[in-house]
Amino acid sequence: MSTPAIEIEDLTVAYGERPALWDIDLKVPTGVMMGLIGPNGAGKSTLIKTVMGLIKPAAGTVRIFGKPLSETGSRVAYVPQRSSVDWDFPATVMDVALMGCFGRLGWLGRPKSIDRQTAREALARVGISNLATRPVHQLSGGQQQRVFLARALVQKAELYLLDEPFQGVDAATESLILDLLRTIRSEGGTVVVVHHDLQTVADRFDQAALLKVKLLASGPVDEVMTPELLQKAYGSSGAGLVTSRDGHP
């Protein structure tokens, strides 16, 4: 069996006294599209931030493609929540997309014409080529999310971690993001998405991990999204959330 894209062992993260994640063991195989599911405060964002090295764990290890994060370079692309940055920043859409290549640049490095070409292609893939010179503070929510995705594409990563990419975007952007992530997977990439809409999990992902501080389950979607497990995560309302998709409350 090939090396998993992410391998998490005995991971515990705490904010002060309160544990945010407790003793997580999780393997994400390469080439899958996994939804990270769980109620508010379950630690979904915390988990991917810890994988990205943004939060220091109290205990446990994270390996990416079998190596510690410090040795993976730009093989991992992180797409934070749109609201995590101040969009009133003096930069154009092109400027932000180009930031995806900054990991490859040295101190004195400037983006080269090939990087610009890559960025133009990325903007085209997310359908905003015509906005390249637009200042980012003029963008709508959906356009902001597309810029973030373009920036991640410029990075040419193998593993993509996205924090709530479908949050507050228009329908056209939603389907574009989904198509894009499926293309990435079909090209051999691995995609992990923090997701809170239970009803769309089965349609969008082939794997799921159900989190509530502890990891309740992980694996193929139909094995994770069972009424018993969802009830464990969300309480009594949880089981109904999924079945209501078919119109049976």
Partner 1 sequence: MNPLNLWEITPGLATVVLGTALLGLATGALGSLAVLRRNSLMGDALSHAAYPGLLAGFLLSGTKSVAMMVLGASIFAALAQWLTGLLIRSTRVRPDAALALVMGCFFGFGMILQSHLQQNPSAAQAGLKDYLFGQAGLLLEEDIALLAALALLVLVALVMGWSRWKIITFDRAHAVSLGINVFFWDVLYNFLFILSVVIGLQVAGVVLMSALLIMPGCAARYWTKRMSTMVTLAGASGAILGVGGTFASDQLSWPPGPTIVLLGFAWLIISFFVRDIRKKRNQYSGNSAKISDALHLGGVGAN
Binding residues (CB under 8 A) for partner 1: these are 49, 52-54, 70, 72-74, 76-78, 80, 84-86, 89-92, 95-96, 99, 102-103, 105, 107-111, 127-128, 130-131, 134-135, 138, 140-143, 151, 155, 168-170, 172-173
Q: Residue 202 CB, nearest distance to partner 1 (Å)? A: 26
Q: Which is nearer to partner 1, 129 or 226 (CB)?
A: 129
CB of 125 to partner 1, least distance (A): 14
If DSSP states are collapsed to H, E and C, what string results for the chain? CCCCCEEEEEEEEEECCEEEEEEEEEEECCCCEEEEECCCCCCHHHHHHHHCCCCCCCEEEEEECCECHHHCHHHEEEECCHHHCCCCCCCEHHHHHHHHHHHHCCCCCCCCHHHHHHHHHHHHHCCCHHHCCCEHHHCCHHHHHHHHHHHHHHCCCCEEEEECCCCCCCHHHHHHHHHHHHHHHHCCCEEEEECCCHHHHHHHCCEEEEEECEEEEEEEHHHHCCHHHHHHHHCHHHHHHHHHHHCCC
State which residue, 78 or 234, has the beta carbon closest to partner 1.
78
The least distance separating partner 1 from the CB of residue 241, rounded to whole angstroms, comes to 26
For partner 1, the closer CB: 98 or 241: 98
Q: Return the number of the residue (76 or 230) whose C-beta is nearest partner 1.
A: 76
Residue closer to partner 1 by CB (options 98, 217) is 98
Taking the complex as a whole, the smallest distance from the CB of residue 185 to partner 1 amounts, in Å, to 20
Q: What pairs with residue 63 in β-bridges?
A: 7
**Given the complex with partner 1, which of 107 and 248 has the nearer CB atom?**
107
Q: Tokens in use for 14? A: 């705490």
Write down the least CB distance from residue 233 to partner 1, Å: 26
Shortest Å distance, C-beta 207 to partner 1: 22
